[in-house]
A and B are shown apart, each in its own frame.
Chain A
Amino acid sequence: MYQRRLLASTALCALMLGATPVATFAETPPDTLVQAWSIDDIISLDPAEIFEFTASEIAGNTYETLITYDPKNVSDVFGKAADSWTVSEDGMTISFTMKADRTFASGNPITAEDAVFSLVRAVKLNKSPAFIIGQLGITPENADEMIVQTGDMTFDFKMDKAYSPSLALYCLTATVASVVDKKLAMEHEANGDFGYEWLKTNYAGSGPFIIKDWRPNEAVILERNENYSGEAAPMARVIYRHIPETSSQRLLLAKGDIDIARNLTAEDIAALKDDANIKIESGVKGSLYYLGMSQKNEYLSKPQVRQAMKYLVDYDAIANTIMSGKVKVHQAFLPEGFLGAYNENPFTLDIEKAKALLAEAGLADGFTVTMDTRNTPEITAMAQAMQQTMAQAGITLEIIPGDGKQTLTKYRARSHDIYIGRWGPDFQDPHTNSSTFAYNPDNSDEATSKPLAWRNAWDIPELTASTDAAMLESDPDKRAEMYIADQKKVMEEGPFVIYAQEIEVLGERANVNGVIVGPSFNDNNFSKVTK
Chain B
Amino acid sequence: MTTRTNRGRRGALWIRKAASVTGTVAVTFLGLLIVTFLIGRVVPVDPVLSVVGDRATQAQYDAAYRALGLDKPLVEQFWIWLLKVFQGDFGNSFLTTRPIAVDIARVFPATLELATVSIVIGTVIGIPMGVWAAVNQGRWIDHVVRVVGLIGYSAPVFWLGLMGLLLLYFKLDLVSGPGRVDITYEYDFTPKTGLFLIDTAMQGAWGAFGNVVSHIILPASLLGYLSLAYISRMTRSFMLNELSQEYITTARVKGVPEWRIIWVQAMRNAAVPLVTVIALSYANLLEGSVLTETVFAWPGLGLYLTNSLQNADMNAVLGGTLVIGAIFVGLNMVSDLLYTLLDARTRKR
0 or 1 for each of B172-191: is its CB under 8 Å from A? (1 = yes): 01111111001110000000
The answer to whether B299 and A218 have CB atoms under 8 Å apart is yes
Closest residue to B120 on the A side, CB-wise? A17
The answer to whether A405 and B175 have CB atoms under 8 Å apart is no
The answer to whether A13 and B170 have CB atoms under 8 Å apart is no
0 or 1 for each of B334-348: is its CB under 8 Å from A? (1 = yes): 000000000000000
The answer to whether B124 and A22 have CB atoms under 8 Å apart is no
Number of interface residues of A (CB under 8 A): 68
Q: Tell me if B46 is interfacial: C-beta within 8 Å of chain A.
A: yes
Give the secondary structure class of B's interface: helix
The answer to whether A244 and B128 have CB atoms under 8 Å apart is no
Closest residue to B63 on the A side, CB-wise? A126
Question: What chain B residues lie within 8 Å of A44 (beta carbons)?
Answer: 97
The answer to whether A23 and B135 have CB atoms under 8 Å apart is no
The answer to whether B129 and A10 have CB atoms under 8 Å apart is yes
Q: Tell me if B286 is interfacial: C-beta within 8 Å of chain A.
A: no
The answer to whether B297 and A409 have CB atoms under 8 Å apart is no
Q: Tell me if A195 is interfacial: C-beta within 8 Å of chain B.
A: no
Once the chains are docked, how many angstroms separate the CA of A247 from the CA of B165?
10
Shortest CB-to-CB span from A185 to chain B, Å, is 16
Once the chains are docked, how many angstroms separate the CA of A28 from the CA of B131?
46
0 or 1 for each of B295-311: is its CB under 8 Å from A? (1 = yes): 11101000110010011
Give the one of B55, B162, B214, B307 with max A CB within 10 A: B55
The answer to whether B131 and A406 have CB atoms under 8 Å apart is no
Q: Tell me if B98 is interfacial: C-beta within 8 Å of chain A.
A: yes
Shortest CB-to-CB span from A92 to chain B, Å, is 23
Shortest CB-to-CB span from A220 to chain B, Å, is 12
Given A2-B262, A20-B217, A409-B46, A216-B54 contact (CB < 8 Å):
no
Q: Tell me if B132 is interfacial: C-beta within 8 Å of chain A.
A: yes
Given A2-B262, A5-B259, A405-B49, A25-B58 contact (CB < 8 Å):
no
Number of A-B residue pairs having CB atoms within 8 Å of each other in the complex: 182
0 or 1 for each of B56-88: is its CB under 8 Å from A? (1 = yes): 111110010000000000000000000000000
Shortest CB-to-CB span from B39 to chain A, Å, is 14
Question: What chain B residues lie within 8 Å of A17 (beta carbons)?
Answer: 120-121, 124-125, 217, 221
Question: What chain B residues lie within 8 Å of A24 (beta carbons)?
Answer: 173
Closest residue to B48 on the A side, CB-wise? A409
0 or 1 for each of A2-43: is its CB under 8 Å from B? (1 = yes): 110111011001100110111111101100101010001001
The answer to whether B173 and A22 have CB atoms under 8 Å apart is yes
Question: What chain B residues lie within 8 Å of A412 (beta carbons)?
Answer: 46, 49, 54
The answer to whether A243 and B45 have CB atoms under 8 Å apart is no
Q: Tell me if A52 is interfacial: C-beta within 8 Å of chain B.
A: yes
Q: Report which of B170, B173, B295 forms a contact with A254, defined as CB distance below 8 A.
A: B170
Closest residue to A130 on the B side, CB-wise? B60
Q: Tell me if A414 is interfacial: C-beta within 8 Å of chain B.
A: no
Closest residue to A219 on the B side, CB-wise? B299
The answer to whether A248 and B178 have CB atoms under 8 Å apart is yes
Closest residue to B129 on the A side, CB-wise? A10
Q: Tell me if A255 is interfacial: C-beta within 8 Å of chain B.
A: yes
Question: What chain B residues lie within 8 Å of A131 (beta carbons)?
Answer: 55, 57
The answer to whether B129 and A251 have CB atoms under 8 Å apart is no
Closest residue to B180 on the A side, CB-wise? A218
Q: Report which of B58, B175, B262 forms a contact with A23, defined as CB distance below 8 A.
A: B175
The answer to whether A448 and B175 have CB atoms under 8 Å apart is no
Q: Tell me if B50 is interfacial: C-beta within 8 Å of chain A.
A: yes
Once the chains are docked, how many angstroms separate the CA of A17 from the CA of B294?
23
Given A13-B124, A17-B121, A23-B214, A34-B183 contact (CB < 8 Å):
yes
The answer to whether B303 and A217 have CB atoms under 8 Å apart is yes
The answer to whether B299 and A449 have CB atoms under 8 Å apart is no
Once the chains are docked, how many angstroms separate the CA of A23 from the CA of B214?
6
Once the chains are docked, how many angstroms separate the CA of A217 from the CA of B55?
23
8 Å CB interface, B238-282 against A:
257-259, 262
The answer to whether A406 and B183 have CB atoms under 8 Å apart is no
Question: What chain B residues lie within 8 Å of A251 (beta carbons)?
Answer: 165-166, 169-170, 177-178
The answer to whether B44 and A409 have CB atoms under 8 Å apart is yes
Closest residue to B309 on the A side, CB-wise? A403
0 or 1 for each of A378-419: is its CB under 8 Å from B? (1 = yes): 000000000000000000000000111110111010000000
The answer to whether B297 and A244 have CB atoms under 8 Å apart is yes
Shortest CB-to-CB span from B34 to chain A, Å, is 23
Closest residue to A46 on the B side, CB-wise? B97
Shortest CB-to-CB span from A177 to chain B, Å, is 16
Q: Tell me if A87 is interfacial: C-beta within 8 Å of chain B.
A: no
The answer to whether B44 and A128 have CB atoms under 8 Å apart is no
Q: Tell me if A450 is interfacial: C-beta within 8 Å of chain B.
A: yes
Given A257-B177, A406-B44, A409-B45, A23-B211 contact (CB < 8 Å):
yes
Once the chains are docked, how many angstroms separate the CA of A51 from the CA of B50?
11
The answer to whether A21 and B213 have CB atoms under 8 Å apart is yes
The answer to whether A128 and B58 have CB atoms under 8 Å apart is no
Q: Tell me if B103 is interfacial: C-beta within 8 Å of chain A.
A: yes
Question: What chain B residues lie within 8 Å of A7 (beta carbons)?
Answer: 132
The answer to whether B51 and A408 have CB atoms under 8 Å apart is no
The answer to whether B60 and A25 have CB atoms under 8 Å apart is no
Question: What chain B residues lie within 8 Å of A296 (beta carbons)?
Answer: none
The answer to whether A23 and B59 have CB atoms under 8 Å apart is no
Once the chains are docked, how many angstroms separate the CA of A128 from the CA of B51?
9
Once the chains are docked, how many angstroms separate the CA of A201 from the CA of B303?
21
The answer to whether A128 and B129 have CB atoms under 8 Å apart is no
Q: Tell me if B312 is interfacial: C-beta within 8 Å of chain A.
A: yes
Question: What chain A residues lie within 8 Å of B259 (beta carbons)?
Answer: 1-2, 5-6
Question: What chain A residues lie within 8 Å of B146 (beta carbons)?
Answer: none
Once the chains are docked, how many angstroms separate the CA of A3 from the CA of B63?
71
Closest residue to A32 on the B side, CB-wise? B183
Q: Tell me if A472 is interfacial: C-beta within 8 Å of chain B.
A: no
8 Å CB interface, B152-180 against A:
162, 165-166, 169-170, 173-179
The answer to whether B131 and A43 have CB atoms under 8 Å apart is no
Once the chains are docked, how many angstroms separate the CA of A409 from the CA of B50?
10
The answer to whether B178 and A243 have CB atoms under 8 Å apart is yes
Once the chains are docked, how many angstroms separate the CA of A4 from the CA of B42?
58
The answer to whether B55 and A51 have CB atoms under 8 Å apart is yes
The answer to whether B184 and A406 have CB atoms under 8 Å apart is no
Given A14-B125, A23-B174, A127-B60, A403-B45 contact (CB < 8 Å):
yes
Given A23-B176, A244-B297, A128-B96 contact (CB < 8 Å):
no
Q: Tell me if A233 is interfacial: C-beta within 8 Å of chain B.
A: no
Question: What chain A residues lie within 8 Å of B179 (beta carbons)?
Answer: 241, 243
Q: Report which of B54, B55, B162, B178 forms a contact with A252, defined as CB distance below 8 A.
A: B178
Q: Tell me if B204 is interfacial: C-beta within 8 Å of chain A.
A: no
The answer to whether B46 and A405 have CB atoms under 8 Å apart is yes
The answer to whether A406 and B297 have CB atoms under 8 Å apart is no
0 or 1 for each of A42-74: is its CB under 8 Å from B? (1 = yes): 011000000110000000000000000000000
Given A2-B262, A28-B183, A43-B94, A245-B50 contact (CB < 8 Å):
no
Closest residue to B103 on the A side, CB-wise? A216
Question: What chain B residues lie within 8 Å of A20 (beta carbons)?
Answer: 174-175, 213-214, 217
What 16 new A-B contacts, CB under 8 Å, besides A128-B53, A218-B299?
A: A3-B136, A13-B125, A13-B128, A20-B175, A24-B173, A131-B55, A216-B98, A217-B303, A242-B297, A244-B294, A245-B178, A252-B177, A405-B45, A405-B46, A409-B49, A412-B49
* 26 CB-based A-B contacts, threshold 8 Å: A2-B258, A13-B125, A18-B221, A20-B174, A20-B214, A23-B211, A25-B176, A25-B211, A43-B51, A43-B97, A51-B53, A52-B53, A127-B52, A129-B55, A130-B60, A215-B106, A215-B299, A245-B162, A248-B296, A251-B169, A251-B178, A403-B310, A405-B46, A408-B46, A412-B46, A412-B54
Across chains A and B, which 8 residue pairs bring their CB atoms closest together, nearest first? Answer: A216-B96, A2-B259, A23-B214, A23-B176, A218-B299, A21-B210, A409-B46, A448-B58
A residues lining the B interface (CB < 8 Å): 1-3, 5-7, 9-10, 13-14, 17-18, 20-26, 28-29, 32, 34, 36, 40, 43-44, 51-52, 126-131, 200-201, 215-218, 239, 241-245, 247-248, 251-252, 254-255, 257, 402-406, 408-410, 412, 426, 447-450
